[in-house]
Chains A and B, each alone.
Chain A
């Protein structure tokens, strides 16, 4: 089998320091992520999902257990630069991630720091802006862009380093619906057309539903892991850990419970839900 781009073994962490410190924010996480995949990590506030994300490019180091990035142990200090080149991070607030006064200079910041020669930087910046659909804003001032545009510039800044994997910690939390959609389209295209591994930390079910695999965290542990349809149909377990299924799934569940029906619980989008309800209604009308 191909080496996983990310692998955690028995990962434990506590903000109070040494192993055995309390409370354990991560309590034995075993996770393997295959290169080229798109994985959403879902969890309520305080479930440990952001702490997990920060272990994936050695911002935090394990208190117990191991984290491997493309086979490199994140605890080995001499590997740090290679690890950070392999896995890039995007955070919640775009305003905290933009450093320059011109969009293309901002995107050039990381490759400059990596010592890439200037013609190489030019090429990388142009490619990165193209990948996030922001080429026409290359010479604009970042502070005049919308939230969604700023976040796409922040993403371009990370992909200009050409990482194999990009980890995003709630990249849409501060954006309006249009901004969220812009960022989600960018994320999907990076995965689909550029083959980049994407780890998306979120508590939006509709975003997680767009991933190939959903990992649900609660109290520092992985409690569910599988394709979106399989995970979201376990509505009771999601609710028990403070999450909620999309309204379409919730509707089908309530109809099953109160109407004695047996609708499928994997209607993650409007179209599937409407189809399921339509065939139900048509069936009854014929009967």
Chain B
């Protein structure tokens, strides 16, 4: 399958030719496939935010390329503009970017900029609101009267309303309680399923990544030292720890069990997998 989005030897240097010169990305090759849910993990300062800002043309590569459907997004002004609509980016704490008088207007801001007609904008606003479970009566209230979790969902709806084929979210669940986290993840899943959209999630939480994504990419010092299915990536416990990243608590339990001498599968990374593995080991796996 051809990637929907790809970077080739992507390099980004901040403040070039000054004493503060800093290479944030160093020759990164990344391929994102249509319809997948991809997780990007890395410490603060690893280069992950710099990377995602390249994926929809907010930052221009110092060298290397970003390709959308195989063509360079910097080839022409039109190509760059198209990339910004097709690749939607939700920043960290997006609720601080709400500014309109009503929730409806805030969600409509993106589609309006796409010069769509009024009916189409209306359809998109209502559909986006439904994806993030915002009730109809909230649409006419001020976004500033909502709770933190609701505000965040309004901000996400604002990007969903542009119907991007790739939706990128930087720490979409930061600062939310467990119920709020589940809700946002379920909303993203709904958008993914309904539009066959590609989803890229940047997160610090390994537990959350473990049960959400198909594939994980680890960014460290501006490069990608590890990528693969969560089970494969989490097998590299000590390397991840050296990069200042952890592995899910459940995986650590299973690594510990192995070290004690129990014969269990070390590639377990969710509670459900763990439950099945233990029941199987007890001979209760059949039912």
Complex interface bits, B190-216 against A, C-beta within 8 A gives 1, otherwise 0: 000000000000001011000000000
| Closest chain A CB from B89 CB (angstroms) | 19
> Which of A175, A179, A270 interacts with B252 by CB under 8 Å?
A270
Cα of A243 to Cα of B177 in the assembled complex, Å: 7
Q: Which of B104-112, B161-169, B223-231, B253-261 contacts A (4 or more CB under 8 A)?
A: B253-261
Q: Does A251 contact B (CB under 8 A)?
A: yes
The residues of B that contact A282 with a CB separation of less than 8 Å are 262
- Is A44 in contact with B177, judged by CB distance below 8 angstroms? yes
> Which of A174, A178, A273 interacts with B253 by CB under 8 Å?
A273
Range for the number of chain B residues in contact with chain A: 35 or more
* With A176-B204, A251-B275, A277-B278: A284-B283 Cβ-Cβ less than 8 Å: yes
- Is A178 in contact with B179, judged by CB distance below 8 angstroms? no
- Is A203 in contact with B177, judged by CB distance below 8 angstroms? yes
Q: Which residue of B lies closest to A43 (CB)?
A: B177
- Is A178 in contact with B176, judged by CB distance below 8 angstroms? no
- Is B249 in contact with A248, judged by CB distance below 8 angstroms? yes
The residues of B that contact A203 with a CB separation of less than 8 Å are 177-178
Q: Does A16 contact B (CB under 8 A)?
A: no
- Is B249 in contact with A174, judged by CB distance below 8 angstroms? no
The residues of B that contact A173 with a CB separation of less than 8 Å are 174-175
- Is A177 in contact with B177, judged by CB distance below 8 angstroms? no
- Is B260 in contact with A274, judged by CB distance below 8 angstroms? yes
Q: Does A1 contact B (CB under 8 A)?
A: no
| Closest chain B CB from A149 CB (angstroms) | 10
- Is A248 in contact with B250, judged by CB distance below 8 angstroms? yes
* With A248-B253, A255-B278, A281-B262: A174-B43 Cβ-Cβ less than 8 Å: no
| Closest chain B CB from A222 CB (angstroms) | 17
Within 83-125 of B, Cβ neighbours of A (below 8 Å) are at none
* With A146-B45, A177-B244, A273-B253: A278-B180 Cβ-Cβ less than 8 Å: no
The residues of B that contact A206 with a CB separation of less than 8 Å are 249
Q: Does A105 contact B (CB under 8 A)?
A: no
Within 224-271 of A, Cβ neighbours of B (below 8 Å) are at 242-244, 246-248, 250-251, 254-255, 258-259, 270-271
Q: Does A170 contact B (CB under 8 A)?
A: yes
Complex interface bits, B137-179 against A, C-beta within 8 A gives 1, otherwise 0: 0000000000111000000000000000000000000111111
| Closest chain A CB from B287 CB (angstroms) | 9
Cα of A244 to Cα of B177 in the assembled complex, Å: 9
Cα of A185 to Cα of B179 in the assembled complex, Å: 27
The residues of A that contact B149 with a CB separation of less than 8 Å are 45
| Closest chain B CB from A156 CB (angstroms) | 20
| Closest chain A CB from B50 CB (angstroms) | 15
Cα of A139 to Cα of B177 in the assembled complex, Å: 37
**A–B complex contacts, Cβ < 8 Å, 16 sampled:** A44-B178, A44-B179, A45-B147, A45-B149, A170-B175, A174-B175, A177-B206, A242-B180, A243-B179, A247-B248, A247-B249, A254-B271, A270-B252, A278-B257, A281-B278, A282-B262
A residues in contact (CB < 8 Å) with B: 43-46, 92, 146-147, 170, 173-179, 203, 206, 242-244, 246-248, 250-251, 254-255, 258-259, 270-271, 273-274, 277-278, 280-282, 284
B residues in contact (CB < 8 Å) with A: 43-45, 147-149, 174-180, 204, 206-207, 244-246, 248-250, 252-253, 256-257, 260, 262, 264, 271-272, 274-275, 278-279, 281-284
